[in-house]
Amino acid sequence: MIREDVAGPLDLGARFRQEARAAAGFGHPNVVRVYDFGVDHNVRPFLVMELLEGQTLRLRIAGGTPMPAAETLHVLRGICAAIDAAHRVGLVHRDLKPENIFLQVHAAGVVPKVLDFGLAKAFATGQALEARTTSATSAGLIVGTLDYMAPEQVAGDLVNPAWDIWALGVIAYEMVAGTHPFRRRVTFANDDTVGLATTSERPGRHMSAKQCAFFQSALAPDRALRPRDAREFLDGCEKALA
């Protein structure tokens, strides 16, 4: 069941069904499977999903101890494969974070699964991307989790796959360093963002020079300096953590 405080302001007659249909229609070994969706007689939205056993990535890193490089890369390979496949069919997750990554315990080992594609928003490719509006999102509503939002997402720019790549960078940093890379302070006035302060937690303090250089690129304020897609991001991680 989807919490009322989340579903309440949304258009259950259109937006929920549209995005649930997109989630149900997208299948990948590293994405939790959505089998069905609907709204019950009490107007409560629901999803019928694959049952997983294991723990979230958030629980795995909760102690603040950096994950071994081999384990980190195994998890990132699964996440990047899922995000790359989603972007290829025009879906942006928009809310990637350790809570939305599940480490499924399987007979053959751990299988990373991306959860919550219900927040995914279809994007247009090529020239159409620049002209797309955010009309499918309620006015004044920022969708996502601030600690994992790219600067341009916080600023309210048009939906872009680069948002997910930024979130991958933050997640990977937490796995490698055992801490979040930034502290942020966002202030609002009349529903508008009027200030954003970001301070670094000394990227590279517990890292090699290669790792430091990679994360400086992956978490650069300028989107042009970051990896272009999930495959390029993973390639950079493989080289940095080798």
SS3 track for the chain: CCCHHHHCCCCCCCHHHHHHHHHHHCCCCCECCEEEEEECCCCCEEEEECCCCEEEHHHHCCCCCCCCHHHHHHHHHHHHHHHHHHHHCCEECCCCCHHHEEEEEECCEEEEEECCHHHCEECCCCHHHHHCCCCCCCCCCCCCCHHHCCHHHHCCCCCCCHHHHHHHHHHHHHHHHCCCCEEEEEEEECCEEEEEEEEECCCCCCCCHHHHHHHHHHCCCCHHHCCCCHHHHHHHHHHHHC
192 is catalytic: no
Q: Which of 5, 40, 84, 95 is labelled catalytic?
A: 95
- So which residues are the catalytic ones? 95
